[in-house]
Structure 1
Amino acid sequence: MHAKTQTTTLTPLALKDAPALIETVFPAQKVSFEAQKERKANLGQTLTGLGSYWKGRKPLILVRAIVLGSLLPPTDDAEADLAIFEKLMAFDDEGLARRALAANAFSAARLQELIPISDPERYFSGRGWRRDITDDDKLVLYRRALATLSSYEAKAGLCKRPEEVDQDWLYAPVWPKVNRHYAHLGLDAHAFPELIEQLGILRYGHRPRVGDTFCGGGSIPFEAARLGCDVYASDLNPIACMLTWGALNIIGASPERRAEIEAAQREVAAAVDAEITRLGIEHDEHGNRAKAYLYCLEARCPETGWRVPLAPSWVISKTRNVIARLKPDHVNQRFDIEIASGVSDAELKAAEAGTVQDGDMVYTLDGKTYRTPIKTLRGDYRLPDGTTGNRLRRWERSDFRPREDDIFQERLYCIQWIKKETLDAARQDQFAGSELGRPEGAQGGRARKGAHQTWFAAPTEADLARERKVEALVAENLERWQAEGLVPDMAIEPGDKTDEPIRTRGWTHWHHLFNARQLLLISRYFQHRTPEDYVFNAKSLDWNSRIANWMNHWEKTNNVFYNQALNTFYNYGIRCFFSHEAGRSFGFANSPLPETRRSIKCRDAAKLEDDADIWITDPPYADAVNYHEITEFFIAWLRKNPPKPFDEWVWDSRRALAIKGSGEDFRRGMVAAYQAMRDHMPDNGMQCVMFTHQDTGVWSDLIGIFWAAGLQVVAAWYIATETTSELKKGGYVQGTVILMLKKRAAGERPGFKQRILPAVRQEVARQIDTMMHLNDRVAAHHGEPVWSDADLQMAGYAAALKVLTAYTHIGGEDVTRFALRPRVRGEVTVVDEIVQQAAETASSLLVPEGLTAEAWAKLTGIERFVLRMLDMETTGSTKLDNYQNFAKAFHVEDYARVMGDMRPNHARLKRVSEYASRELTETTEIGGTRLGRLIIALQQMLKDTAPQVIVDQMRGEMTDFLEARPLLVDLLTFIERKSPEPDVRNAAEVLGARLKNLRFGE
């Protein structure tokens, strides 16, 4: 799609000095919900089809909101501006109705349950819609049905994501309203590329260019390009650049180009299939074909001399009750492994306990159980100087299998076979549409049926002969394949993550992470070297290596990077041609991009040569993923003979140059990067920095970084972008902070703490007052506020940053020198103090509903924390990061002590009844407060202690009882309204009445 340039009605640069809408208005709560909705789509996300191994992609809906918010101008009507913004995001009621209809959210029966329909025959025939009904007719009922739901989350939860709906239809009613709202600017847009180009001309004189120097998985340049921006993307890591290229050129390909890509990939698959079939290494004598091979390590027991197969579980398939059984072979002092299908649930349960348990090799022989620590088998040791090591032989470049005298051997113990009849059907589908050709995760009803066209069996002598043939082929060709770049020859460089395979297996080169069958199969694919081949081959590597564990509930291998580590396993599965091909290339999303300029470069973020009007970055920060290490897993395969344009890139992780970790090097690297971006944007340009904050120290670091880079913060928003999972138990922060920055005005501006603090407090109060006013107006019309307390508190930080980053000197010290000097452990800088003051000011302005400002001012930090969070819980807040943010703002020493649940999406305070007596003593943070004393009193009430007895105890224990009584009454009234426990609410009412009516003579 081409964007129209309205040069006849637009005045170029009319918005040159105008602020951006995102500086004042941003629907943070709705963006948060939509971002999580996108995350929860898992493999349904647009870009993950190219490789889910890159974990740091920001949601596309978030990027869209930032780009639009950075280009749209505010008017003198903030509420109307917000309404237009939400229409463009399809967050408004009409957008939700269309998204819900696209999702077929309501059946005919459900609609008639939700709303009264006086003429149902107009819409329905029998149990469904009439055939002649139009979408416009359906929308009439959908609008009314959605209006019965009370919250945005309830409505949007029924809908498709905006990107999943036909864009012309979804936004048809929006463009007239947008053009009318911005009629004074001469806007005449009928699609996003037109809107974007026109806004770019008004603001910059040309179509806007969005840049990202930490492009990672490509979500920022992809979404900016999809809106109609020119884009520049760069990253030090070539894997990031490759994924970004794939996003723009594969996912973003035109339908015609997509068809060409699919046809080319079918040719590759056919060629590999023909070669593997000719070699005869995957078929049995009946024409059945292997789908997966299962291997396990084997080690000799030092106590008995027996060779023991190692696996943490011998369950092969939970869905079909398939297990492996160990059968002693006394003659050879080893175990045979037989495969049993359809076993009882009790046998399945017993098989879950394998021969590796809690770090030990455990097995039973002749009625006796033997247990040896794995570290003993490896011969782990620690020298007096702290050096560690073990007796594992370090593999050499020519190795691809264990040698006979190695501690850990490896054996094939099970094969999953595909019936010949199923193979014939799959060939007719040409690898697409059948279970064997579906992308990972696209398991429909047909897929599960297809799974039963396979079976598991122990390897026969003929199978083992084929195994030896594969090993002979690899041994004969490995050196040549390595020289030609078909198989890696790159050594594993030690590091935080890369030490694991070296330490636990003795593997020293990247090809050691792949066994003979994998090396043979994957090398056949690497004979084909288009850019698309590179993208798809990298994706397949993630699913087919020695460190891809077998998932017995899905009957397939897991991906290597299900987390951000290089985990080694005692047993693993490998994919043969059909299952390897199924997850390689087919099924990727297609979202054609408009014709705009795009540039991708593999370079250091500090060495820019290209300009952008808007820089949007998701930089590495204190707890960043070690991509510079783990992506060497892919680089080892891709670095030799890359195709154009990849041959222009440096195929090395360049660990030494990567911005990582924290401390002085981190800050210096970030300053250089953001200084470069500042130097390569116009004076009215804007930067957006996204980061997931886990450490308050990062805030101070960022202030210093922006100071030194000559940038000033103009706004900050808080977005809940992450979702919970089993891998994210505990205290994981789930929010992303969006910081908006502009160039700091030229000239010197010194400041002193005594003058800055009042300015910060004033700006915080102004910012929160403005936001709360808009909250009230929007809530009055739509029933829901725009911002949560977390957003309002984050605005307090933003206000502090806005004031602070405007200065060039603080207390006589140049801010650049201050930013770059090493931090001293435990040091509290003037910046730390000011940021903390801002947080406290913001928190003091957010008095919970039901408490007076006077009462709020008398409370301690822990009391404020508990009452604030109790109030938030009544609105359904369950995000752990909200609790973390407020705990920091209120100076709570250990908020975990008052938490009843700390799961990321199920966080809550302790209930009154859950406090133990030891947690309410004078030595605890909560126990020494008035609120702590009230919790004790309420617990006594729940045990039927007489109210007067409790009052007398409080009078005796509290020296300021009479003075504190009005505050105690206020707190009990608040608890009566907010407590989730009915008995506690009743007790608070009774005790509060007794205190309120207390006469001094009693």
Structure 2
Amino acid sequence: MTKIYSPKKLIEVALPLDEINAACAHEKQPGIGAHPRGLHLWWARRPLPAARAVIFAQMVNDPGYQQDGGFKYGVNKKEAEIKREKLFQIIRDLVKWENTNNEEVLNRAREAIKDSWRETCHLNRNHPQAAELFNPEKLPAFHDPFAGGGAIPLEAQRLGLESYASDLNPVAVMINKAMIEIPPKFVGQAPVGPIPEGKKKQKLIEDWSGAKGLAEDVRRYGHWMREEALKRIGHLYPNVKITDEITSERPDLKPYAGEELTVIAWIWARTVKSPNPAFNHVDVPLASSFVLSSKKGKEAYVQPVVQGDKYYFNVKVGKLPAQAKTGTKVARGPNFRCVVSGVPLDGKHIKGEGMAGRMGMKLMAIVAEGRKGRVYLSPTQEIEHIAKSAAPTWGPETAIPHDKRSMFTPLYGLTKFVDLFTPRQLVALTTFSDLVQEAHKKVVADAKSAGIKDNGLGVDDGGTGASAYADALAVYLAFAVDRLTDYNSSISTWKASGEQVMQTYKRQAIPMTWDFPESNIMGVKSICWLKAIKYTADNLNACTKLNSLIPGIVLQTNASTQTISANKVISTDPPYYDNIGYADLSDFFYVWLRRSLKSIYSNLFSTMAVPKAEELVATPYRHGNKEKAETFFLNGMTQAIHNLAENSHPAFPVSIYYAFKQAETREGSTSSTGWETFLEAVIHSGFSIDGTWPMRTELANRMIAAGNNALASSVVLICKKREIEAESISRREFQRELREKMPEALEAMVGGETGSTPIAPVDLAQAAIGPGMAIYSKYGAVLNQDGSKMSVHDALILINRAITDYLNPNSGNFDADTLFCDDWFSQFGWSEGQFGVADTLSRAKGTSVEGVRDAGVIEAGGGKVRLLKWSEYPQDWDPKTDDRIPIWEACHQLIRALNQQGESDAGALLARMPERGEPIRQLAYHLYTLCERKKWAEDARAYNELIGSWHAIVAASHDVGHKGSQAKLDLDF
């Protein structure tokens, strides 16, 4: 027997998407406490609940009837549903944030995985490779070849799998080592560092299970580093004294008279020479805002005071002047005005000054810590002098990549990473970087004194002794330096509404900033070293409470050539075409990690910058043009995924995440170069796409999505190796199969009243491609009439057309009034049109303008016709008393009720017309698609929100119906 019998996995049949999506949304919110993502910044991480649920469902067998060639087994449908529900309940419990480290829940999941594995091993007990592939006593290992931020391999480890992670990017490799490789080496290790003065003495018996001891030593040595740094650079971070001179100008500061306040931050503005010839010796400020605090009752702002050819800054409190909100900025982009002469400073002048090295900085304000919050003070020459007296002896001279999509500072002369930091920031960061190595030596000595043996092997060489333990601690201390770096560059910003410092990477780019805060990292509040240490230790514990005993292996390797995947379970989140240039972005951190850790990980940090030539991203500036970049991406991704198809364990499907909004509209259908290119790579690699699952893994309010209907989901592709002898079919046969199978698949996706939450319209266009691609990709080829192979692009056009046909009101049993409104909306939107046009259209649809007007959905008069907006519909409308109700009217009345009154009232309205629920839902999908293609974002939002709330509306309508039935029963009784 050579055939491998692989029972269908749960992920190929069904998932409790509602609970997974809810858990993903919750996990993305701030304020949930310590989280593995807090160890080190990485971009576009998958939420832990999604990764956990996908891996679990990928490994457990579906309990329903199974049929695969030579074997059949299974249970009856009802019994299968009961068993499937038990697996669903495991997933529901598994994805809850509070159960992340719940041993009872995790053990149930692990046992279910083991049960399925033993069943699969039994089916393949006679296979020639049974000993190698199907050992019932040992689960297969896991591998993620695009490990990135480490969420997926971390969750595989949490589920009990030996976890392998690999990535080409050294920063990603280091993050994964810190999460899954290093902690298991030091499970149960008690801390060896000296307890800081003032801290509670250690108990005689302490719980140092998991990585608690390792995390505690991060705190202890971090505290030691701060004390050492204070001795060396504490003079650069002086307190500010509230003198009588200050209180005479600011009576609000009298309660602090004579006191020295701890500075939280200094607020700076960049400067350039004035373009006015009479004042070209003056360095004038480029301030995008003079507002320091916009909190009600705590308003504070900077007021520039001009005296001849000089100026200085005063800090004021009270009502904000209008001009304070814009600073010296006068328009979008780099356009300012000279504060002295009033002449404009355009982008060309500012860029020229920057490239000539004449861009400087001037202190605008000081933020100090008061007894009841922030205190804002005017700058002094002495304080500014102290800051500028810092003399760094080292800086990261690595060039900033010239990717104009995400790296904006080179346009203004900031061409090296050293240019992104003030002198004081450079001195502080290099001091702490140096102290990482000094702490390393101290750890070795302390560990030996605590009885830990040392064979001289470092952690990168597999050691677990004193030297290796010191290496491990150095990694987490270096991560704390990186956290400081993110918040302590001249690209960070001050958020006036929250009175707080915002990090460099608010989005996936290094923008140009004009005014910026410089934090007191030697303090104890806000952005400081002690907070960075606390977050690092807390988040290390969040990674390792239970999974510390499971080994993890992390390697730097190219996904296109790696061989680690052999006979392993694969789930991965590859790069998204040209969405994020990870290598360019991570250089910012690499230069500091390299300085701190090169002696420990010499191979990983052998280059001056992150390797870029082989990074699988379609970046035109690297490859010469867009076409060459696309070819590079397609070839490289095809090879990488081909490795997975050839090497992954044959008993399991491969899951691949993809999140890319379809953005190009052509010939009435929507497509995306990135999506098409990725699908080409997957199919050419030898995979068939057997299913897709939309996961709500992105926050709708993330910065990259601001102002548009961005995709709210990742699409998880479920892939299996395609049969070598897969047959070919004709274009006509492909279209026939689409017509037969797509409606059922789409109906399952849009949900309805089946109990599942429907996929939001913003996601449907992409998620629905899955069923169509499942048809396309299972064949060796789909042949056009001329015998050529149909491309993915052409297949997507036909698949999108099938989606449009399904959603189009003309394809269903919609009333004539709705068909008229739909065509009119497509032509005119909410604008007026000529009565004659409306009359012709209404006759063609089998109705009349007068009839549609009487239905209450249009306004007609004076030779003009227009559709009524949902906000114009009457609030007292009752479908029970209306004798002419187009689905158009019912849909927009439901939108009105939802927006003006909420889900409960919308449900009550639906309860009075339940038979119209399904056509309302179908119309909403169709209108969303129409608005999206016409770029009517505001209108599209209304239809998307209706579908997003559909499950709650239906539930509310059922509650109303139940109460009504109960009331009737009570009355009868």
Asked whether the two chains share a fold, i.e. TM above 0.5, the reply is yes
- Confirm or deny that 1:246 pairs with 2:172: no
After TM superposition, give the deviation of residue 268 of structure 1 in Å: 3.4
Residue by residue over 1:133-167, the C-alpha shift from the partner in whole angstroms, topping out at 9 and shown as x without a partner, is: xxxxxxxxxxxxxxxxxxxxxxxxxxx63435744
2:613 is matched with 656
Which stretch shows the higher mean deviation, 722-731 or 533-542?
722-731
1:400 is matched with none
**Consecutive unaligned residues in structure 1, runs of 5 or more:** 1-12, 100-159, 188-199, 381-389, 396-405, 420-449, 482-486, 819-828, 867-891, 899-914, 955-968, 993-1002
Give, in whole Å, the separation in 2 of the partners of 1:921 and 1:642.
77
- Confirm or deny that 1:615 pairs with 2:570: yes
Residue by residue over 1:274-316, the C-alpha shift from the partner in whole angstroms, topping out at 9 and shown as x without a partner, is: 3334542222587654332222122333334154333122222
SS at match of 2:597: coil
SS at match of 2:26: helix
SS at match of 1:232: strand
Residue by residue over 1:764-817, the C-alpha shift from the partner in whole angstroms, topping out at 9 and shown as x without a partner, is: 356567889xx79xx67xxx23654768877753332222222223329999x9
- Percent identity, aligned pairs only, is 16
User: CA 1:373–1:679 in 2, change beyond 3 Å: closer, same or farther?
Assistant: same
Of residues 78, 88, 92, the one that matches 1:90 is 92
SS at match of 1:357: strand
User: CA 1:620–1:285 in 2, change beyond 3 Å: closer, same or farther?
Assistant: closer
- Confirm or deny that 1:39 pairs with 2:28: yes
2:709 is matched with 731
Q: Is the 8 A contact 1:201 1:207 kept in 2?
A: no
Of residues 685, 696, 705, the one that matches 1:709 is 685
1:434 is matched with none
SS at match of 1:345: coil
Q: Is the 8 A contact 2:577 2:678 kept in 1?
A: no
User: CA 1:264–1:858 in 2, change beyond 3 Å: closer, same or farther?
Assistant: same
Q: Is the 8 A contact 1:293 1:412 kept in 2?
A: yes
Matches within 5 A, 1:277-356: 277-279=231-233, 280-284=235-239, 289-303=262-276, 304-305=278-279, 306-319=282-295, 320-330=298-308, 333-340=309-316, 343-347=317-321, 349-356=322-329
Give, in whole Å, the separation in 2 of the partners of 1:294 and 1:461.
14
- Confirm or deny that 1:409 pairs with 2:367: no
After TM superposition, give the deviation of residue 975 of structure 1 in Å: 3.4
What amino acid does structure 2 have at the position aligned with 1:937? Answer: V
User: CA 1:686–1:457 in 2, change beyond 3 Å: closer, same or farther?
Assistant: same
2:782 is matched with 810
Matches within 5 A, 1:432-831: 452=373, 455-470=375-390, 473-474=391-392, 478=393, 481=394, 487-497=395-405, 499-504=407-412, 506-527=413-434, 528-529=436-437, 530-576=474-520, 577-578=522-523, 579-587=527-535, 588-589=538-539, 590-591=541-542, 592=545, 593-611=547-565, 612-640=567-595, 642-643=597-598, 646-649=601-604, 651=607, 652-661=609-618, 663-695=630-662, 696-697=671-672, 698-725=674-701, 727=703, 728-747=706-725, 749-764=727-742, 767=745, 784-785=755-756, 788=759, 797-811=769-783, 829=790, 831=792
After TM superposition, give the deviation of residue 614 of structure 1 in Å: 2.1
User: CA 1:864–1:467 in 2, change beyond 3 Å: closer, same or farther?
Assistant: same
- Confirm or deny that 1:975 pairs with 2:888: yes
User: CA 1:641–1:166 in 2, change beyond 3 Å: closer, same or farther?
Assistant: closer
Give, in whole Å, the separation in 1 of the partners of 2:8 and 2:481.
45
Give, in whole Å, the separation in 1 of the partners of 2:173 and 2:850.
56
1:825 is matched with none
Matches within 5 A, 1:143-222: 161-163=97-99, 166-168=102-104, 185=119, 206-222=138-154
Give, in whole Å, the separation in 2 of the partners of 1:735 and 1:555.
32
User: CA 1:804–1:45 in 2, change beyond 3 Å: closer, same or farther?
Assistant: farther
Give, in whole Å, the separation in 2 of the partners of 1:679 and 1:412.
60
SS at match of 1:297: strand
What amino acid does structure 2 have at the position aligned with 1:975? Answer: W
Of residues 3, 10, 13, the one that matches 1:24 is 13
Q: Is the 8 A contact 1:215 1:233 kept in 2?
A: yes
After TM superposition, give the deviation of residue 721 of structure 1 in Å: 2.1
Give, in whole Å, the separation in 1 of the partners of 2:602 and 2:840.
61
Give, in whole Å, the separation in 1 of the partners of 2:409 and 2:840.
45
Q: Is the 8 A contact 1:394 1:508 kept in 2?
A: no
Give, in whole Å, the separation in 1 of the partners of 2:290 and 2:733.
69
1:194 is matched with none
Residue by residue over 1:240-273, the C-alpha shift from the partner in whole angstroms, topping out at 9 and shown as x without a partner, is: 2222223326888855533333334432343344
After TM superposition, give the deviation of residue 684 of structure 1 in Å: 2.6
User: CA 1:646–1:830 in 2, change beyond 3 Å: closer, same or farther?
Assistant: same
SS at match of 1:980: helix
After TM superposition, give the deviation of residue 525 of structure 1 in Å: 1.0
2:919 is matched with none
Of residues 258, 263, 269, the one that matches 2:212 is 258
After TM superposition, give the deviation of residue 355 of structure 1 in Å: 1.5
Kindly tell me the number of residue pairs found equivalent between the two proteins. 745
Give, in whole Å, the separation in 1 of the partners of 2:744 and 2:174.
45
SS at match of 1:233: strand
Which stretch shows the higher mean deviation, 350-359 or 603-612?
350-359
SS at match of 1:521: helix
- Confirm or deny that 1:370 pairs with 2:342: yes
User: CA 1:310–1:699 in 2, change beyond 3 Å: closer, same or farther?
Assistant: closer
After TM superposition, give the deviation of residue 37 of structure 1 in Å: 1.8
**Consecutive unaligned residues in structure 2, runs of 5 or more:** 65-76, 122-131, 188-207, 242-259, 438-473, 619-628, 663-670, 868-881, 898-908, 917-973
Give, in whole Å, the separation in 2 of the partners of 1:865 and 1:232.
57
Q: Is the 8 A contact 1:15 1:203 kept in 2?
A: no
Give, in whole Å, the separation in 1 of the partners of 2:643 and 2:850.
55
User: CA 1:944–1:220 in 2, change beyond 3 Å: closer, same or farther?
Assistant: closer
After TM superposition, give the deviation of residue 862 of structure 1 in Å: 9.9
State the superposition RMSD in angstroms: 4.8
Q: Is the 8 A contact 1:863 1:926 kept in 2?
A: no
Give, in whole Å, the separation in 1 of the partners of 2:364 and 2:575.
43
What amino acid does structure 2 have at the position aligned with 1:554? Answer: G
Q: Is the 8 A contact 1:26 1:82 kept in 2?
A: no
Residue by residue over 1:933-969, the C-alpha shift from the partner in whole angstroms, topping out at 9 and shown as x without a partner, is: 77993388478879xx999x99xxxxxxxxxxxxxx9
User: CA 1:569–1:733 in 2, change beyond 3 Å: closer, same or farther?
Assistant: same
After TM superposition, give the deviation of residue 220 of structure 1 in Å: 0.7
Q: Is the 8 A contact 2:18 2:757 kept in 1?
A: yes
After TM superposition, give the deviation of residue 573 of structure 1 in Å: 0.8
What amino acid does structure 1 have at the position aligned with 2:686? Answer: G
SS at match of 1:724: coil
SS at match of 1:979: helix
- Confirm or deny that 1:360 pairs with 2:335: yes
Give, in whole Å, the separation in 1 of the partners of 2:850 and 2:634.
46
SS at match of 1:370: coil
User: CA 1:495–1:923 in 2, change beyond 3 Å: closer, same or farther?
Assistant: farther
